[in-house]
Amino acid sequence: MALLLNAEKFEEHTEVVKRVQAALYVKDLYSGEFDGASGTETKAAIGKFEAETGRAITGRITADLLVALGIHDATIFDEPKYLKTLPGNTETFKRIVQEVQVILYLYGYYDGMIDGIVGGKSRTALLNYQTDHGLEATGTITPQTLDALHVVAR
């Protein structure tokens, strides 16, 4: 779904709010659910982002905010990133799984909890994404999948 950047009241568009919540989550500014509601927690996270980036603090979703967050089409992750191998039982791995879950959620493949656990829903989402994008369909987080999703193992 392409976002309409000329809309006047972004807070009324559930999908726009969900994408803002996900983008702020990845930046460690939002910790709530991706519920599409522009509530107090979402507004506070927007305010933190605005403060960190030198913008006027409004707590509102604006076209400028969407552009600043990189929300202009179906993805919020545009920059190429580089990978490194990590063991599967670390906090870093959990954070990477959460980022993968967020991206798969934004693409419409995942509808589970953003919990950092590669469970059944995550494996199904990964498998479907890999199949749709011509990757080896393993249902696991592979270096090729991370690269396709533009996720860096850091």
Contact 92, 86 (CB under 8 A): yes
Question: Would you state the pLDDT for residue 80?
Answer: 36
**Alpha-carbon gap, residue 120 to 3, rounded angstroms:** 30
Mind listing the domains of the chain with CATH numbers? 10-69 (no CATH), 91-149 (1.10.101)
Question: Would you state the pLDDT for residue 22?
Answer: 87
3-state helix, strand, coil in the chain (%, to 5): 45, 0, 55
Contact 65, 11 (CB under 8 A): no
Across the chain, which has 154 residues, the per-10-residue mean pLDDT values are 46 82 90 88 95 93 82 43 50 88 92 89 92 90 91 79
Q: Which position has the token pair 């798969």? A: 104
**Alpha-carbon gap, residue 45 to 64, rounded angstroms:** 15
> Whole-structure pTM over 0.85, yes or no?
no
**Alpha-carbon gap, residue 16 to 3, rounded angstroms:** 7
Question: Would you state the pLDDT for residue 6?
Answer: 40
